[in-house]
Chains A and B, each alone.
Chain A
Amino acid sequence: MNLRNQIATLMRYELRDELRGGEVGFVVLPFGVVALLTIPMAIGIDTPLLQRIGPGIYWSIILLFGVLVTQRHSSLAPPATRDMLRLAGADPVARFAATTLATFLLLLAFEVGAGFATMALYDPALDSWWWLAALLPLTAAGLSMIGTIAGNIASGLEARTSLVPLIVVPIAVPLLLGAAQATEGLRVGAGILRWLLLLAIVDTVLAVAGVLTARSLEESAA
């Protein structure tokens, strides 16, 4: 089986599991919407302020709750499954790419769902909102790659569930800053190309790091 087929097969396996369990759609997304609902209760009902800070809150929610989406793959791949895939000759790079792509699609769905909730609850005024078609995938791609790498690094460890967020969240801060600054640019009508470029650079570096280290992490699988 060539690399592309391996990626497609493994990605289908991960997405099928999500379709059966519905963890992202029925657990993580509602949890994120609850967070979007509770923050104004703590800040106070100042509609213009909430309108202004809504996009920033949205990106914080995406980063923090996105970690839950990125973490699901490490529970999907217990040592026995990993051993089986290794024995079956699955390429570590294909496994990295498949997990990243599956997580990317789920994160994108989460971003769109939480985005609609933010629009409804905070009513942010965004000029040129079609730029989101580039912004959302770039952020989801970066976060999914960081999550996949962190999940592989922490796989097999007892402290995995607390370790992965500690690794992912600080490393994903450049993504949060790029996305938040770009959204602020859309709000005030400024150019956002340099922020998109920053996100694209971070994504590229992560993709290269992920591919180059996939085999090394496979060797050290517990």
Chain B
Amino acid sequence: MKARPLDIAAVGTLATAFVAGLVVPPDAVQGDLQRIMYVHVPSAWLAYLSFTVTLVASVAYLRWRSLRWDRIAGAAAEVGVVFTGLALATGMIWGKPVWGVWWTWDARLVLTAVMFFVYLGYLALRRSFDDPELRAHRSAVLGVVAVLQIPIVHFSVTWWRGLHQPPTVLRPDNPQIDAPLLFALLMSVAAFTVVFAALVKRRSEITAKEDEALRFQEAGATAGSDITAPTIGGGSS
């Protein structure tokens, strides 16, 4: 498979973010443990981004009925589920030494896990269909309804008093984070976003090929079926 500009950009920004995450000074309170935030925060950001892309692509499919939108919706949900899982896992790894527990019944944690399962259900639904059109129709509806979760997850920290810290960077007043740490964090968010774009593009292309292969299979075509046996004297065999 040939490397393309988006893939190269994804690898490049990821490498830069990795270096930035290593060279910035450690956190004054948490020390090096805080560096896990350079993976955790971008993963959580990608979870929101992915599921929003799934919503937009689902609406676009319902409006224009182009399978291209369905493939983007499915690819974004797949990538989103992976990064939601990563956000949960890195959160747990960070939580054990800081909070003393792997898991706590904090509203945001629980609802992020719920969001993970909502989109696992979405992916399970997609896998249940062979027909791309049927898959697109049904999963587009679920893609729209499932997005109900996202604002509730996001605002859960404000609605319920929990253990999870409130927004640090996206505050109405000034960000509560030192400039070098903020730079490294923003670098990793940018890198993860480019990786997301590259993954969604690749996955959409793979799904397009799978759909094409399915159509070919359904048409009853087999390798070499276009080749006919040679005939003698111009007659038909």
Instruction: Please determine whether A202 and B121 come into contact, CB atoms closer than 8 angstroms.
Output: no
Q: Which A-chain residue is minimally distant from B134 (CB atoms)?
A: A220
Q: Which of B104-121 contact A (CB under 8 A)?
A: 111, 114-115, 117-118, 120-121
Tell me the nearest residue of chain A to B62, going by C-beta.
A216
B138 and A220 contact, CB distance less than 8 A? yes
Residues from chain B with Cβ under 8 Å of A64 in the complex: none
User: Which single member of B115, B144, B148, B149 contacts A213 (CB below 8 Å)?
Assistant: B144
Residues in B whose Cβ lies below 8 Å from that of A46: none
CA distance A146 to B142 in the complex (A): 10
Contacting pair A174 B117 (CB below 8 A): no
A85: interface (CB < 8 Å): no
Rounded to whole angstroms, the CA-CA distance of A170 and B116 in the bound complex is 9
Assess whether A112 is interfacial by the CB under 8 Å rule.
Answer: no
Count A/B pairs, Cβ under 8 Å: 75
**Main SS at interface, chain A:** helix
What separation, in Å, do the CA atoms of A157 and B121 have in the docked complex?
14
Is B137 in contact with chain A by the CB < 8 A criterion?
A: yes
- Within the complex, what minimum Cβ distance (angstroms) separates A159 from chain B? 5
A36 contacts which chain B residues (CB < 8 A)?
none
- On whether the beta carbons of A216 and B140 are closer than 8 Å, the reply is yes
| CB-CB contacts below 8 Å: B159-178 with A | none
How far apart sit A9 and B118, CA to CA, in the bound complex (Å)? 34
Closest beta carbon of chain A to B12's beta carbon, Å: 37
Choose from B111, B124, B129 the contact partner of A166 (Cβ within 8 Å): B124
**Interface residue ranges, A against B (CB under 8 Å):** 146, 149-150, 152-154, 157-159, 163, 166-167, 169-171, 173-174, 202, 205-206, 209, 213, 216-217, 219-220, 222
- B residues adjacent to A (C-beta < 8 A): 62, 111, 114-115, 117-118, 120-122, 124-125, 128-129, 133-134, 137-142, 144-146, 148-149, 152
6 contacts between A and B (CB under 8 A): A163-B128, A167-B121, A213-B145, A216-B62, A216-B137, A216-B141
